[in-house]
Amino acid sequence: MLLGVDVGGTFTDAVLALDGRLVTAKAPSTPHDQSEGVMAAVGAALEKAGRPAREVREFSHGMTVATNALLEGRTARTALIATEGFTDLIALGRQDRAELYRLCAAQPAPLVAPELRFGARERMTPGGPLTPLTPETAEKLAARVEEVEAEAVAVVLLHAYRHPEHERALGEALKDVHVSLSHEVVGTFREYERAATTEIDAALSPLLRNYLRRLVERGNEAGLPEAAIMQSNGGLIDLAAAAGHAAWTVLSGPAGGAAGAAFVARAAGARDALCFDMGGTSCDVCVIDDGSVQEQSAGEVAGRPLALPMLAVHTVGAGGGSVAWRDPGGALRVGPRSAGADPGPACYGRGGTEPTVTDANLLLGYLAADAPLAGGVELDRDAAEHAIAGLAQALSLETTACAEGIIRVAIAEMVRALRVVTVQRGIDPRRYALLAFGGAGGLHAAQIAEELGIDTILCPRASGVLAALGLVVSERRRDVQRSVLLSDEHLTAEAIATHVRELGERARAALGEPEAALQPTYELRYRGQSFELAVAGSPEATPEELRDAFEAAHEERYGYRDAEQSIELVTVRVTATTGGAEVTLAEAATHDSAIERGRRTATLAGAETEFEVLRGAPAPGTEFAGPAVVELPESTVLVAPDWSGTVDDTGTIRLKRA
């Protein structure tokens, strides 16, 4: 029995895979202690399955602890040790503006206060030590850090990516405090990005460790095995590694959804798809090419760089719980602020009074007051109408027109996000299927597809808990990378093979799997360029093979190649993986397939329209035509006019536009 649990901003989702079927459950998230919501969702799933917790063989977990702490500025008291003269490296940054045309916009302040920054009397060059770090210096620095009562320490020394000896010495001298060493966290060059990432790692790790300790205690009491944690790169790591390096898990939540979407897309035969994950708080989008989610070697969260491999997921604050409001200019706006899990949208009846996207969907008739949401949430239409009526009055609109406006504004925000990962990157969205999931994804998929010119929509049977399913099927993974800066006569097959072999051994050892599969990634550039392009290659790649792959990628991205220019291999990254669990969606789709058919009236484009309603999980082969609403166990799918749907062998709803 395999268990996956994903914590969202509004709901915590659980999926059990057992006996060829999927058992799903939801529980409200508990922001004050996410482990409470986790155990509530697990308990609900086990109760539905009629099985005890001790039969769970593997437990995978994705959470937003590190993400929320970074966004909200709730970090541990952190000190920074840098090479003497470089303690203000993060404050100086790249000396670029946060926004080009807003001079008042500022970059986020460093997480380490100036009085907690310490300079180490040492100096390392790319070739080795220039000023050695003495044991006495290391001990004195450790004593000074102890005096300021720091909970964590980030150690970032010059050129430690190549010569980490001084960082290791400081790590040994620092006692009774969490220590993040930059060569272990990042392992690549570019001082500012390496320092900023290590600072994030140190500032978040004590908080994540405390959360995971509570999770382990509650799990042990229930009889669950120790959880594996989802990383930002879409792979699982053991709990101890996650507790020691919180920066690796900053995008843990969105990564689970992307992994689940890629799994469903492959099973449904749509290997090229745009993922659209709309939950209660946010909307995450990404691109699946040939069955795999696009990755990037670095990213940015809350304006702070993260120099770590991660899935290329773009997030906007548009979810079912996003609050609608009137801006000072009198325009209708939606998000990014969310009603969250407590009190939630007004229609949840938990004390919320502000209008949200969910309230608008209920008022328009796409959601039904007599059909509780997953997790047993009863909907109050009168409360939704009252909340939207107040905003409508402020905007001088009729209540129904205001509700439709809320939906249109939210859709515009989500379309903009999808254009960021497609059109702005030279990708034509019309050649992809739109894979919509999350509790609210299916409600808005048809309108988004029409905006982007997409003709096919996929809505998985487990749409509302797809991130939890992604955790169940994800592989275990460790990435190890190194900046090598090889060119001309130094770029040889032997040098490449040596780096791949050493990094592969480290990755397998960190994963604890001596036979794990290895996949190298090479980041290359033309001599004189500032940034690299990543290309996949074999462990035995030759310089000629790397050049061919790089120039093909360069021509696709920039429209040209330069056969006369020499290339430089900047970074080698080796990924060690072990296969994920086997789950057969086709077999799972044969269980609990009874549906009820009915009709109800809803508002569409300002007019009252009669919709067919299908309640339950339709069996493979079921057909229907819009306008219709399909009420799945954890999500709802709106089938617009001119769209028709069929259910494939995996239980996935495939919508086609006439």
H helix or E strand, kind and range, residue 552: helix 543-558
Which of residues 339 and 492 earns the better pLDDT score? Answer: 492
Express each pLDDT in 540-553 by its tens digit.
999 999 999 999 99
Give one DSSP letter per residue of 460-526, joined into a string. Answer: -TTGGGHHHHHHHHPPEEEEEEEEEEEEGGG--HHHHHHHHHHHHHHHHHHHT-TT-EEEEEEEEEE
The yes-or-no verdict on residue 416 having pLDDT over 90 is yes
The yes-or-no verdict on residue 87 having pLDDT over 80 is yes
Residues 487 and 396 in one domain: no
Would you state the pLDDT for residue 373?
Answer: 75
Q: For residue 391, give both structure tokens.
A: 């905003």
Does residue 259 sit within a domain? no
Q: Counting every residue, how long is the chain? A: 658
Residues 110 and 201 in one domain: yes
Which residue from 76, 78, 158, 162 is spatially nearest to 120, judged by alpha carbons? 158
User: Of 374, 389, 407, which one is at a domain's C-terminal end?
Assistant: 407
Instruction: Quickly state the pLDDT bin for 592 (edges 50, 70, 90).
Output: low
Centre a 10 Å sphere on the Cβ of residue 252 and count the other Cβ atoms it contains. 28
Express each pLDDT in 442-494 by its tens digit.
999 999 999 999 999 999 988 889 999 999 999 999 999 999 999 999 999 99
Residues 397 and 481 in one domain: no
Residues 179 and 94 in one domain: yes
Residues 89 and 172 in one domain: yes
Does residue 193 sit within a domain? yes
> Distance between CA atoms of 507 and 65, rounded to whole angstroms?
26
Give, in order, the Cα–Cα distances in Å from 561 to each of 525, 527, 557, 636. Answer: 11, 13, 10, 48
DSSP bridge partners of 637: 630
CB–CB of 42/218 below 8 Å? Answer: no
The yes-or-no verdict on residue 593 having pLDDT over 70 is no
CB–CB of 658/643 below 8 Å? Answer: yes
Specify the amino acid at residue 135. P
Give long-range contacts, CB 8 A cutoff, 24+ apart: 299-304.
299/232, 299/251, 301/67, 301/70, 301/71, 301/250, 301/251, 302/70, 302/71, 302/108, 303/98, 303/107, 303/108, 304/70, 304/108, 304/196, 304/200
Tell me how far apart the terminal alpha carbons of the chain are, to the nearest angstrom: 42
State pTM to two decimals: 0.89
Instruction: Quickly state the pLDDT bin for 22 (edges 50, 70, 90).
Output: confident
The yes-or-no verdict on residue 11 having pLDDT over 90 is no
Which domain range does residue 370 map to? Answer: 322-407
The yes-or-no verdict on residue 588 having pLDDT over 70 is no
The yes-or-no verdict on residue 336 having pLDDT over 90 is no
What value does the mean pLDDT take over residues 424-442?
92
Beta strands 533-536 and 456-459 are unpaired
Residues 6+ apart with CB under 8 A from 217: none
Does residue 223 sit within a domain? no
Does residue 281 sit within a domain? no
Residues 88 and 185 in one domain: yes
The yes-or-no verdict on residue 623 having pLDDT over 80 is yes
Express each pLDDT in 374-386 by its tens digit.
667 789 999 999 9
> Distance between CA atoms of 118 and 86, rounded to whole angstroms?
9
Provide the number of structural domains found in the chain. 3
Does residue 140 sit within a domain? yes
User: Of 178, 205, 232, which one is at a domain's C-terminal end?
Assistant: 205
User: Of 390, 407, 424, which one is at a domain's C-terminal end?
Assistant: 407
Residues 188 and 83 in one domain: yes
Does residue 306 sit within a domain? no
Would you state the pLDDT for residue 223?
Answer: 95
Q: For residue 627, give both structure tokens.
A: 């306008």
Compute the mean pLDDT over every residue in the chain, rounded to the nearest whole number.
Answer: 92
Does residue 46 sit within a domain? no
Residues 93 and 172 in one domain: yes
Instruction: Quickly state the pLDDT bin for 590 (edges 50, 70, 90).
Output: low
DSSP bridge partners of 535: 522
Does residue 232 sit within a domain? no
Q: What is the CATH number of the domain that holds 483?
A: 3.30.1490
pLDDT above 90 coverage of the chain, percent: 76
Residues 190 and 109 in one domain: yes
